[in-house]
Structure 1
Amino acid sequence: MTAEADISEFIAGLDENDDIRRLLDLSVGRVLRAAEKRGEEFRPDHRKAAHVADWLRASFVRNETWLANVDDLKRPRKLLKFSRFEDIVKEADKAMRAANARDGVSSSGGGQTLYRDLEHGYRLVQLHTRDALQRESSRMGHCVGNGGYDYVLERKNEAIISLRDRHDKPHATLHISGDAILQMRGKQNKQPKADYITAMMPVISTMRNSSLFFGEFGFLVDTKGIRHQLTELPDGVEVDGSLVIVEGSVTTLPDNMTVHGRLRIENGKLAALPRGLTVKGSLEIDYNRKIRDLPSDLVVEGRLSMRRTRIKKIPAGLKAEALYATGSELEVIPEGFTVQGDLYLSRTRVKALPSGIFVGGVLGIGETKIEALPEDLSCGGIDARESALKAIPPKVVRGGPVDVSHTKLHFIPCDLKAVGRLDVSGTEISSLPFDISQVEQLVLARSGVTALPEELGRKELKFLDISDTSIRKIPSDIIKIGELTARRCNLDTISAGIEIESLNIEGSTTVLPDNLSVRHLRMGEAKIKKLPDGLTVFSSLYATGSDLTEIGQNVRVGTGFFDISKTDVECIPASLKVGIGYCAGIDVSKTRMIALPDLGDVKVDWLSIEKTSIRDVPAGWSIKNIRARGAPLSSVFGKVEKAYGVSRKHAAAFTARGVNVVPWGIRHALLAPYRLGLEIAAVIAIVYASFAPPPENDRPV
């Protein structure tokens, strides 16, 4: 499994709603991918990520206004500003506090019924109404209120339970489904105190805990309902559900231990895995730098993930559904090793594969020194990007994704069965396999492929990249392409009958047909003189720096951006339709335009006319922000809220019309770094002078 697949699985486990998953992917998923690319050893805290999911779910239910502030790809801008996972968590905390303060605590105490009486004056109550959830959220300082968990109230097999003392004061909140505990939180989303957990043990010990990682609380419950401290586990203990070991005090685990769910070891003090360990789910020991060996009798019915560990050898007797060893110090794979899932050895020290290996999923050997594959190897797919691979034997790949980008391969077998994705970019491969009818993503950029088959044997492609190739024609049977990237590629033409979601022809000479319809169009620095008649771009069009001189008739651009800056366009025809009542931005800066066209009612967030000859804003234009530096803008017949770069001569007239004129301050902007540089140089000179040795003639004899 790739890092991308790991992240996708992590996101999918946080919420079952596709809309919430998308928001999680744009926030948590995005920063995790960035961290992975930077090579950071970063593992997200599941509890904190669940807290973020609570915030996003509550925001979605409430239809918060920030969700409507999106970019041209319909991504909420608020989620794109985060660069660290901790920043997202802080935003979730801030939103939770604000929501609790805004909604307050209801004075009524209804909406709850007794779930179970406990000892010492404690009891569990079930919350039945939104007011009850909000009251719990405000008193506990977490996100069970605010709308995020209202859906639980409508489900017969789920419930929100609150631990109360004799004074009806809450101390812990549980989310249960049937006989399973899904979540258990104390105040401010922290762990409940040990005394409160002890009070709830009569209930906890009778429930299935498949999604509750008790290791987080320093104990576990075995299959007999007995509670054990993690530091005092008996031999042969069987864990009911999944277990995450995060406590630094745990240095050993008992022999013959069985975990009926997933076992994840996050602390760095555990130096060895016990003999006879059986994990019914997945075993995750990623980033552990003390474990050096795996037990020969280890059984993992799920996947074994040991990324960036110091383990050098896989024992011959190991049984695992899949193995992920990316970035580890692994050197040896046993002969005949078999996994039904993926085998990822990317960025390991493995230099050769033994015979008899069977991989049911994808074999990952990216960035390794493996040059050849065994003749008897069998794998579903292969990920060999940036490896030393020089050849692929016939009949090795049975049917799966194939990525051999940036390798030394000159050809691939004609019988290679690629399914899903085929990537040969950055290679000298010049011919494709006979059958690529099951390929949805085809990446040929900077390869030796000069032509595509007349027919691919399918009607749709999710992704096609032919950048920096001499390919000139799209197969005739293709009628739909999700994303077509043809940068610096000279396609003869693109059929108007092809449905394209996103088209990138930056730097190319591709001829666009009349009446072409796409969602996104990027053609910056393209050698194209005219936008075709009837062109429809449903979102954004970027043509900055292209050879564009003319806009065709009846061109339509959606609610995104219309950017023709740094072109030789002199005028825009009145038939241009921009936005559907609204447009995010129009940029005609550094063009030859002398006037804006009368387009009727146009609402624009940003309009840039910098360094043009445009003198006025026509009636019907409604602009929130206009940049006019270097343009002779002198009058406004439409509506402008804020103007930047207006000359001093016309500033008063603009102000009189209700325009907020903002001084450009370019001189100050340019002088500021210069002045700062002088100050830094002066400080350096002073420090150097205080530590530098005196000149020769000033030294004592």
Structure 2
Amino acid sequence: MKFEEDVKLFPEFSQKWAEKRLAKEENKNQYPSPESIRSTRDWLVSLEPGSELYRKLDRVSWADAQKCQEKWHEALARKSAKMTEYGGKPDDVSPVLNLENGWRWVKLNSPESKDYEGNAMGHCVGQGSYDDDGSIIFSLRDKNNIPHITVQFNCERRIVIEIQGKGNTKPTQKYCDDIIKLYKEYDVQDYGKLINLFSYAQRNGEYIIGDNNILSCDKNTVFDYVKLNETSTITEFNYDVSGDLDIEGTQQLKIINGKVGGNLNARKTKLEKIFKDIKGNLDISYTTHFKELAVNVGGSVNGHSSHIENITKDIDGRLDISETKYFKFLDVKVGDNVDASNSNIERITQDIEGSLNISNTENFKSLDVTVGESVDASNSNIERITKDIEGSLNISGTRHLKILDINIGENLNARGSNIEKISKNIIGNLNISETEHFKELDVEVGRNVFATGSKVERITKNIRGNLELSKTKHFKELDATVGGNLDAEKSSIQEIKKDVGGSVNVAKTQNFKLLAVKVGDSVDARYSNLETITQNIPGNLNIDMTKNFKSLDVEVGKNVSARRCNLKTITKKIKGEIDTTQTQLLENYNNKVECQKSKLRM
């Protein structure tokens, strides 16, 4: 009988623990003394819900509990000894509301009482800060007159200005009911401060504040909105919510067994199960205990950096499983985009309505489903793509994809990849910059081609847009029309056989000697070994620092920059300015070309 009575002395959350530990001590003929039991009980009562010891109490032995309670009582003794160091007058108060277990709300009556409160609580109520501002300071005191919560109240406006725990921290959930009682005592109607501190629900315009008050509602209650804060001690939520349910940061809630008519935010929680459908979006990002999603979600699902392993129902909106480590197979339909970047995904079996991101994945080898928009597989270990891509495809940085034999609806980015062959036309841009194994481009490209720093050797089809061949070492001859600009700076190009619709850049080339095709705009040949130009230039011409260009025998539609070069003669009209700084012309051409002397810089 004594054993059962002793167990009842302990707070409810610890009674099962106490029953096991006391039984074990009794079996060892070491049953604790009444003083030890009371001291342990007092320590357990002091534990903050959600604290590490509170959550891991089952692992604590009776012997370890004695060490904890002894340290706690020693800290209390030190605190009591410091009371005289706090200064002020701890007893210069007026009781305003008596609570359970000897706790009470008091009003601070003097500057000295505020000094004590500020020193004991570690905030700025004292030191004259609130002595003459017209507000009332309330303090929540325990049976030993130790303050736990400080409230600043404007009596004239009947509003709470500030609620502070120790060290200006937010009060925890266990103080919620006592604070609400103070609100009611002074008929405070503005709950703005409370809903920023504690869990609350809304129903028909009414606020229900605090875990206990929420759980006291009838089981058939349908809330309009619910927000459980990070200190909530609710472990199972069984109510329907017509709007949003926000439980972000809660550590105690394990199960949601009610319908959610709006969005469910379970980010950074230890939620384990959801049993009813979600009409809006679901956020389970950074969750560590949620393994399977087995309900319908009407909107999008954010499972970023979560421990999700399985999804069994189709998703109407987007799906984010990026940076997940345990999700391997996606076997459901997704109505919008899928982000699986940096994940351990291995297979997708259903078509994707929107875009797909599998960048930086190591285990995804083959894409065998249709993707309605773009695919980002950059820096992945993908080896095969067997279905057409409606949008753009990014395979930059891939090492195992060698041949691409699919249609691509927009752009292809293969920068820095090991791609070797492209067999279908590209509608948009093509980027094969810094590729090592791509030698020949023999498909049509609808826009621009970027081949900077690549080992491409041949292009056999016309380019409608711009062509970038800068820093290429193996490209010698261009036998395709370029509709836009040609950039071959620092390349090994030797010959251009077809007209260029835009500008030509052959700056810093060593082997390009003759420009004999039409150019639609400017020519940049600075620092090159260019010798001859045979077609008029509509735009600017730059032959700075050229050593072998001796005679300019074509018309130039705009400006010519011929600084520090070996140009000797100009025989055709220059419509713009000419800069021949540090260049010694052999012949004065002021009557041979239509160029004002004022525009000639020598």
Give me the TM-score of the superposition, normalised by structure 1: 0.43
The higher radius of gyration belongs to 2
